[in-house]
Amino acid sequence: VNSVLLSIYEFPVKSSTDAMALELIQFILDQDAYAQLRTQEQLGYVVGTYGTTVHAQRYNVSLYQVLIQSGEQSPQYLDERAEAFLSSAVDILYEQTDDELWNAKVGLWQSKWPVPLKLTEEFQTVFTEISSHTFQFTRAWDEGQALGDITREHVLEVYDRVLLNKEKRRKARLLIYGKGKTADPSERSMNPVSLDGLKQWKEGLDMLRG
């Protein structure tokens, strides 16, 4: 059974520009995170970072997430390596040229809002706004405008506030210790739950029993 780390960095956003800045950071650093944590350090087969603004409008919060699944390392070690990458990755943002930053903005917008080729695709975009009660039917345009307003200084400020500043940032971790791995003594204060398997975990959840 593999060990898993899921780190969630919460960003209370005040504007679409703030929300898109966090997504832009994830877009710029995603391949570097994979290259460092998966290819070079070989921490696990599953390595990914995710930036989402899905709740930004309704709940004024965006999320940056790091997910690593490993058959060899403990989740505590995975967290240490993920933090080390985030500490060093700020240099990548510092070194971005104006052209590179612009290309990243265009790439992010195009990946989020591809030109709909079918009426059903356009319908799904509209229906998502209705079903989520956000009703921001000009979201693609609004996010494009927000991306255009983002500067390198804004990116670095958001990066520091959300990911680097340990005194002010809001971070939650899910640490799953695989078979043969035990929680670090420093984590004992968190009252970790020990399970023999997925079935036992499901039986402990009211909605999943049976």
Provide the pLDDT for residue 210: 41
Contacts of 160 (CB under 8 A, 6+ apart): 90
Residues of the chain with pLDDT under 50: 208-210
d(CA 41, CA 14): 36
Provide the pLDDT for residue 79: 93
Provide the pLDDT for residue 54: 62
Strands 170-176 and 61-70: unpaired
Provide the pLDDT for residue 171: 92
Compute CA 126 distance to the chain's CA centroid, rounded to the nearest angstrom.
Answer: 25
Query: Do the Cβ atoms of 173 and 6 come closer than 8 Å?
Result: yes
